[in-house]
Structure 1
Amino acid sequence: MKKIIVKGLVLTMFGLLLSTVTWAQGDKASRPSPPATASGKVGGATITITYSSPSVKGRNIWGSLVPYGKAWRAGANEATIFETDKDIMVEGKKLPAGKYSLFAVPGEKDWKFMFNSETGQWGIKRGGDANMDPAKDVLTVDAKAGKAASMTEKLKYDVTGKGFVLTWENVEVPVSIK
């Protein structure tokens, strides 16, 4: 009788341990590109950008890991999410209040940002292309890339009083919002 109880307890403990390990592997914070959020006020609007933040890790980023002239999920893992609680003007063009997937087409100096109405998808398709339907783009704006003041290891978005800034490696791309 005692052997059956001991075996039952051992099996139960093993099951709990296994389920804890499996659950922990689903924890997004333990990913190589962990989740991050940038939030702030621009005028009267609250802007929130939710993304996964990859690291440089000694790699060449722009024009290599992230090709020039090709749509990119503007982060890692799931598509980057851009939310605004009020209508705003992005680079002089109207963006209605809402939640959007944010994609970018990087260039050496000129970038495009696309605000897409489809949300919740993984950021890339099996072949490596951005997982976006261009027909669902609500707004496309141009922005100018510049050299960052210093090297930034992890991709970072900042929401400022003037808009948002994407910074990674040695590149900084500000996007104005009013």
Structure 2
Amino acid sequence: MKKSTLITTIAFGFMILLSSNANAQKFPDLDKSPMDVASYPTDYKNADKLAKVTYSRPQLKGRSLDELAPAGKVWRTGANEAAEITLYKDMKLGETKVKAGTYTLYAIPEKDNYTIIISKDLNVWGSYFYKVANDVARLKVPVTEGTDSLESFSMVFTKADNGIVLNLGWDKVRVAVPFTE
């Protein structure tokens, strides 16, 4: 066999191996609680962000909010992995200074208020491995009621006089979490 024919045969075999491996990949279906990102400023063209939260968006689907985010229990603030919040500059949550960086965002829902928790844990699935010892900051914020019911859990940042507010909404529950500069 000529040298060029041997090289061609080997190259052809390698391409078949690669193409058969690519065809063998199994890609997952869409997640039932898709991941989303909220940031401030909200304009995607503005790269100079102050904060960003990455979270999964569970849906009610006929279930009660109490069933999905039980009162008095630490909740991952979404679905799947615990929500992660990134602050691009030092900010305060209540009276506690939180240094710029990425943190896990938890909440403890109650009827009249939510305790918002910033934790130094990262890459955590759910709230199963939550450790109070890793809390960086906690703030109790009041619950208000929206006029419309939101089927999917949602978060959005808004501008405030001295910082930003992370707004959480699901069903008719609304929670505003102030971050000050």
TM-score, length of structure 2 as denominator length: 0.79
Q: Distance in 1 between matches of 2:81 and 2:32?
A: 13
Note if contact 1:115-1:140 (Cα within 8 Å) is conserved in structure 2: yes
Note if contact 1:49-1:83 (Cα within 8 Å) is conserved in structure 2: yes
Give the match for residue 170 of structure 1.
172
Whether 1:38 aligns to 2:38 is yes
Give the match for residue 18 of structure 1.
24
Write out aligned runs for 1:1-178 (5 A): 15-19=21-25, 22=26, 24-25=27-28, 30-41=30-41, 46-61=50-65, 63-125=66-128, 131-162=129-160, 163-178=165-180
Q: Distance in 1 between matches of 2:104 and 2:68?
A: 21
Aligned-pair Cα RMSD in Å? 2.4
Identity percentage of aligned residues: 29
Per the TM alignment, residue 17 of structure 1 is displaced from its structure 2 partner at its CA by 3.3
2:133 alignment partner, SS class:
helix
Note if contact 1:45-1:86 (Cα within 8 Å) is conserved in structure 2: no
Per the TM alignment, residue 92 of structure 1 is displaced from its structure 2 partner at its CA by 3.8
Choose 1 or 2 for highest CA Rg.
2
Which structure 2 segments of 5+ residues have no match? Answer: 1-12, 43-47
Where in structure 1 do 4 or more consecutive aligned residues deviate above 2 Å? 10-18
Task: Give the number of aligned pairs.
Answer: 158
TM-score, length of structure 1 as denominator length: 0.80
Report Cα offsets for 1:103-143 as digits up to 9, x if no partner.
00000011101100010111143xxxxx2111010001111
